[in-house]
Structure 1
Amino acid sequence: MTLAVLTSTGNTLEPADAAPLAEELTAALRAAGATEVERGPAGLRHVVERAEQSHEPVLVVADNLVAHPSLLWMLATEPAGRTTALVVPDPAGDLSDDRGKVLPATDGPGTVRYGGAICVAPADLPVLAKVADRPDVFAALLEAGLVPVATPLRLLRAELVHDAAELGRARAEVAAVDEDRARLRMAVKEKDDFFTTYAVSTWSPIVTKASARLRLTPSGVTAISVLFAVAAALAFWQASRPAMIAGGILLYLGFVLDCVDGQLARYTRRFGAFGGWLDTMADRAKEYAAYAGLAAGAERIGLPYAWPLAITAIVLQTVRHMTDAWYGALHDEAASRPRPQAAGGVGARLSAASTRVQGDTGSVAYWLKRIVVFPIGERWALLSVLAIFTNGRIALAGTVICGLVAFAYTLALRSLRALSMRVGVLDTVDTSRFRDDGLLVRRVLSRAKLPAPLAFAALAAVAALALVVALLAGWAEPPAKILLAVVALIVLGAGLPARSRHGGPLDWLIPAFLRAAEYLFVAAVGLSGPAPTPVVFLLVFMLTLHHYDLVARMEKGAPAGRATGDPLGWDGRVVLLAAAALAGVPTAGMVVLAVLVGGTFLINAIADWRTGGTRP
């Protein structure tokens, strides 16, 4: 449900033109889901009071706006439930669109201007209440520190009109656009990756339209894409040339459907926390299932080292995604409260260069920048092509090599840019939750309150990596129980500064370092056992589901649920795994831990989403 109000922004239309336009806007607002539409400043105050009581969003629309009704619908159905504003491209505008956030232009002209409509989320209603009597509500909201999400026009049209001539031109522009066709094309991400743009998005809208006609839900399409990925993994496991070709094709088609589920959600405006969470979790499960299929197939035909490559790929990709999630949160935090002292330095120059390249859409530099980070489209394309023409081991090796290059590139540049931003982000959330601390850290180790949490987390990851390298190189002989015990203690030491402030410019790396430390310790236990590599992969896979669950709930506005306050945590798992290794039963310990982590994830996810999730 949504409440709406039409406000006057200097409307100079004649009554004969203004009245029909107001009726058109009222009808459009009703179609967008508004249950109540009022007019004028008094109406805005009344609507805000009602909205605060009922916890509903408020659509504030200028009464001289001529626009496609779908634009108001898009504002009212913002997927994450955030405040969002309609913006119009304008090289001389007074606003800038920074990573999808609307900010006042500070250095020269902006890139967009206000389009005359904003949907204020329930969380931001107190800000709207304070400025309800101001003549220019949108400008007042920005002055009060509100940072709306941008809803661009793209293929649709919207214009604020002031006389009959402008009204006629605006209506003609709106009528000239096939609204449904434009919405279908707009369901495709505006700036996607190279492979997705040219090998998927060129024809995926056809599948999206067909899915809508068949009344499939976005989550239903996600489920079908999972079936394709599982079929691809089974084909890779067979490892024959026809099977590898079939697997590559199925993996590609599964990725197409992975794009279609999001396009269908945007086209039909059927969003929900559950759908966003499911899409994120399914993406990772499908990719890692493909890794397992490739490794099992390579082993089936006698190719060694495939499972270690699959484990390396899953660890590398998960740690990368942890840095992606928290760097994105850091960047958004910096954009919402820029600081003057952050204007100089190498990082600031890199940010400016990145902005210039991103603005040069379609150029060679633009595409190279998007390809070098090795996004999901490029990863799945590489897996498919290498599987079709070579074998599972080469496909996994190629994925690992490209992933390492991408990780080194993004980590170096993002660290420099983060230093220039001079803001923290991990201290703005439940730190212990996203650290994934268990009872041992929360109740015992964190009492030390040591400083430098990033240094301790990095040391834990380095110690675990050093043990893995030593075991692989033969510098340490299995079972290496003393070394395992020492490294376990070093890893657990990362919990000593858990209560200290995580507000440093590079502290967004802490979750990634903790994930790396735990996964690498699992690998070390597997090597020292030795435990079967498929079992090591299974445990790491279960752990990644748990950690992606934490991040997905943050990114998709999902309920915290039972994932908050996990009594075991990374520290408890390290203790249990070390105990199993020292007792000489590492394989059994891994299996038990995999069942425990996977079962807990599944039970909690089902329980939380049944009680707090929103299904699309």
Structure 2
Amino acid sequence: MRLDERPLVGDARARAVHGRSSGGDVVVLGGDAATDLLESLEPFALAHRAGVGDGHDVSATLRAAADAADAVDTVDTAGRTSGAPLVLVSHDLRISPVALLDVLDGPRDVTAAAVVDGPVTDLRGDGSDETPGGFAPARVDPVSRRITSVGTVRHVASDPTTYAAGILRVAAADRVRVAEVLRAAATSESAREPGMQAFDLALLAVVRDAVVPVVAVPLAHVTVERGHEQRQGAAGSAWQQRLRAASRGNDGVFSTHAIRPLSRRLTAYGLGRGWTPNVVTFASLLLGLAACALAAVDTRWTWVLAAVLLQASLVVDCVDGEIARFTRRYSPLGGWLDAVSDRIKEFTLVAAVAWVAARRGDDLWWLAIVVLALLAARHAEDFAYAMRHRALSTRPLASRPLDVPGDGGAQGARTVVPAAPTGRARVVRDIKQVLHLPIAERYLVMSVGLLVYSPAFLLWALGIASAVAFAWTQVGRLGKAATRRDRFRADHPDPTLPHLVDLAVVPRPTGRGRFAWQVPGLLVAVEAAALLLAAGRDPAAGAAAYAWLAAVCWHVYDNVYRLRETGSGTPHALVRATLGVEGRVVVLALIGGFTDRPAAPLLVGAVLLIVAYAAESARGWRAVIGSAPAGRATDAAVDGSTRQDGSS
């Protein structure tokens, strides 16, 4: 198995190994490594350490692995190392080096293990041979992406969600601690358990120690074999499987079945010609803005062309993320550009359609404001809810003795990895995805509205669909919170919530309240209502009010994505300078109550907000670009765990 397996995808730069594990050590556990396994590890410039026992003595194997983990360059006063990583791999793993790129050459220097989803096939046919081996069931937290339990011949993984593939990359900074864990595991009763696989016990020991977090790296759509089991990947070569895996796996129904097949073809073309994600993002933005301009022209044929260009911009918008994932080149700025450009296209198209309606004599600016408020409130609430769960999921795990068979799961819990939904279950899952109204479904609604050539139809359809999606998520989440089924703990509040709340004087929520995640969306709704009252029935004032709300909503998204990509939001000085929601509501009350022509003051306010928000955002991103090393990424940028909406 080699990196030059054909057919290839992309040029040499797109397929390049960045050397992020170069100089590390690799230890093969459980026996002698097959030639094809060593060949798969060769591109990553790892030093193979011999003398790891005879493969049948698990204790000796783990002691030898611990000795290898101890062989580090330097150790600081805190016990952290600054050398190269250590790679532990099961001797019976068969995998292409292309599939190992995300594990051994990814952008994050963390301790991580590869995992694969089912179904897996038993290569023994009738299964009469009961020799131990194969993939180990594992449980992965869906928010933090940490492995929280692993099953072995002795240990049970309750409610497993995936399988451990058989390779663990230990970050250099974690080698000393992992060496201690492996050395202790070598003396455990579990190491003497008949049929125990050395790799499974090593991974379980690190997970149960709960000091070094083990991040799950999913190997989607690639063929992997371990022992007598195989997980069959997508059709084609390893590079074609990697291209298939570059598509996000949590897209909506329309994106999965209509948009992604087109975007992957365009991605393959771009990878062969040196396209970069940010350039593709700008191309998508230009296509979307061209669609908005055509909609503003107000002829049937320009609206048809606008619908086509809007879908084309969505296809191109998927390409930037696929290129980033394929090449493992991420940046916080790239994630922010991708997400914010989507909002710009949506805001502008809604404005163009409302403008056409006004020219036809139908004032729909109020409806445009309602649609915009629904979209922004829903996404602000989505992010706050996701970060609330992340705060709960990233709290330190409790360690558990290695020789205890159970992992603390509920009695009678499931112990096998569930099969992928089929039949009725798959239909139900697809319906739920549609009800969430992801971006592809929203763009489809807008494109159908353009084809119908009716501003009222487009805005009402988008508004109703957004309201249904908002109600769907609200009912489920509020129900769980009200019945205390949401795992909420006041002693683990969301640290980002105060940054999501645009209050200048009124105290911000701390996140210790069970329903505090509702506040960001509620504030958007309050300001939208104040704008509607201030604008009254004046179409010009309605347009100015929409511009005001668009500026506020852009700031909400900018703040959300900056928190997601960099971990820091906008400074409180900007909140005070723009008066906060409470101050702006007072201003809007004065405008609505003391002037008969609110359009001018609303427009002035919108311009001031746009200037303030844009200037501060530019300043903040200049600081991020100047301090962040190229190619590195935050957790969210890589795994998407807090990405609530977006096409990439």
TM-score for both structures, normalised by structure 2: 0.72
Q: 1:12 aligns with which of 27, 31, 50?
A: 31
SS at match of 2:604: helix
Distance 2:396 2:385 in 1: 16
Whose relative contact order is higher, 1 or 2, with alpha carbons under 8 Å and at least 6 apart? Answer: 2
Report the CA distance shift for 1:109/1:609 in structure 2 as closer, same or farther (over 3 A).
Answer: closer
How do 1:135-146 and structure 2 match up within 5 A? Answer: 135=185, 136-145=201-210
Structure 1 stretch displaced more, 381-390 or 86-95: 86-95
Give the corresponding residue for 2:20.
Answer: 2
Report the CA distance shift for 1:338/1:206 in structure 2 as closer, same or farther (over 3 A).
Answer: same
Answer whether contact 1:3 1:58 (CA < 8 A) is retained.
Answer: yes
Over the aligned positions, Cα root-mean-square deviation in angstroms equals 3.9
Structure 1 stretch displaced more, 45-54 or 528-537: 45-54
Give the corresponding residue for 2:377.
Answer: 319
Give the corresponding residue for 2:522.
Answer: 513
Q: Does 2:436 match 1:421? A: no
Distance 1:125 1:593 in 2: 56
Answer whether contact 1:422 1:505 (CA < 8 A) is retained.
Answer: no
Give the corresponding residue for 2:554.
Answer: 545
Distance 1:83 1:522 in 2: 50
Distance 1:288 1:330 in 2: 27
Question: Displacement of 1:120 after TM fit?
Answer: 5.7
Question: Displacement of 1:414 after TM fit?
Answer: 1.5
Answer whether contact 1:295 1:310 (CA < 8 A) is retained.
Answer: yes
Q: 2:160 aligns with which of 72, 94, 110?
A: 110
Give the corresponding residue for 2:44.
Answer: 29
Give the corresponding residue for 1:88.
Answer: 116
Which is helix-richer, 1 or 2? 1
Give the corresponding residue for 1:472.
Answer: none
Deviation readout 1:213-261 (Å, 9 max, x if unpaired): 2211111111011111111111111111011101111111111111111
Deviation readout 1:152-211 (Å, 9 max, x if unpaired): 2222233456xxxx7xx99x9999961111111111122421111121112221101111
Answer whether contact 2:497 2:517 (CA < 8 A) is retained.
Answer: no
Give the corresponding residue for 2:261.
Answer: 202
Report the CA distance shift for 1:276/1:392 in structure 2 as closer, same or farther (over 3 A).
Answer: same
How do 1:152-231 and structure 2 match up within 5 A? Answer: 152-160=218-226, 178-231=237-290
Q: Does 2:291 match 1:291? A: no
Q: Does 2:308 match 1:255? A: no
SS at match of 1:201: helix
Distance 1:220 1:130 in 2: 47
Distance 2:179 2:518 in 1: 38
Query: How many pairs align?
Result: 531
Answer whether contact 2:99 2:242 (CA < 8 A) is retained.
Answer: no
Report the CA distance shift for 1:371/1:81 in structure 2 as closer, same or farther (over 3 A).
Answer: farther
How do 1:256-271 and structure 2 match up within 5 A? Answer: 256-271=315-330
User: Which ranges of structure 1 fall in alignment gaps of 5 or more residues?
Assistant: 341-347, 442-494
Q: 2:472 aligns with which of 409, 418, 437?
A: 409
Q: What is the one-letter code of the residue matched to 2:613?
A: F
Give the corresponding residue for 1:233.
Answer: 292
Q: What is the one-letter code of the residue matched to 1:29?
A: F
User: Which ranges of structure 2 fall in alignment gaps of 5 or more residues?
Assistant: 1-18, 51-64, 120-134, 151-155, 186-200, 399-409, 632-648
Distance 2:618 2:175 in 1: 32
Report the CA distance shift for 1:397/1:188 in structure 2 as closer, same or farther (over 3 A).
Answer: same
Structure 1 stretch displaced more, 112-121 or 244-253: 112-121
Answer whether contact 1:96 1:112 (CA < 8 A) is retained.
Answer: yes
Answer whether contact 2:70 2:176 (CA < 8 A) is retained.
Answer: no
Give the corresponding residue for 1:328.
Answer: 386
Answer whether contact 1:312 1:400 (CA < 8 A) is retained.
Answer: yes
Report the CA distance shift for 1:356/1:8 in structure 2 as closer, same or farther (over 3 A).
Answer: closer
Report the CA distance shift for 1:561/1:86 in structure 2 as closer, same or farther (over 3 A).
Answer: same
Report the CA distance shift for 1:56/1:305 in structure 2 as closer, same or farther (over 3 A).
Answer: farther
Report the CA distance shift for 1:372/1:57 in structure 2 as closer, same or farther (over 3 A).
Answer: farther
Question: Displacement of 1:596 after TM fit?
Answer: 2.7
SS at match of 1:156: coil
Give the corresponding residue for 1:41.
Answer: 66
Report the CA distance shift for 1:21/1:561 in structure 2 as closer, same or farther (over 3 A).
Answer: same
Distance 1:128 1:594 in 2: 55
How do 1:65-104 and structure 2 match up within 5 A? Answer: 65-76=93-104, 84-89=112-117, 93-99=136-142, 101=145, 102-104=147-149
Answer whether contact 1:2 1:57 (CA < 8 A) is retained.
Answer: no
How do 1:320-399 and structure 2 match up within 5 A? Answer: 320-335=378-393, 359-360=421-422, 363-399=426-462
SS at match of 1:305: coil
Report the CA distance shift for 1:47/1:610 in structure 2 as closer, same or farther (over 3 A).
Answer: farther
SS at match of 1:70: coil
Question: Displacement of 1:593 after TM fit?
Answer: 2.9
Question: Displacement of 1:94 after TM fit?
Answer: 3.1
TM-score for both structures, normalised by structure 1: 0.75
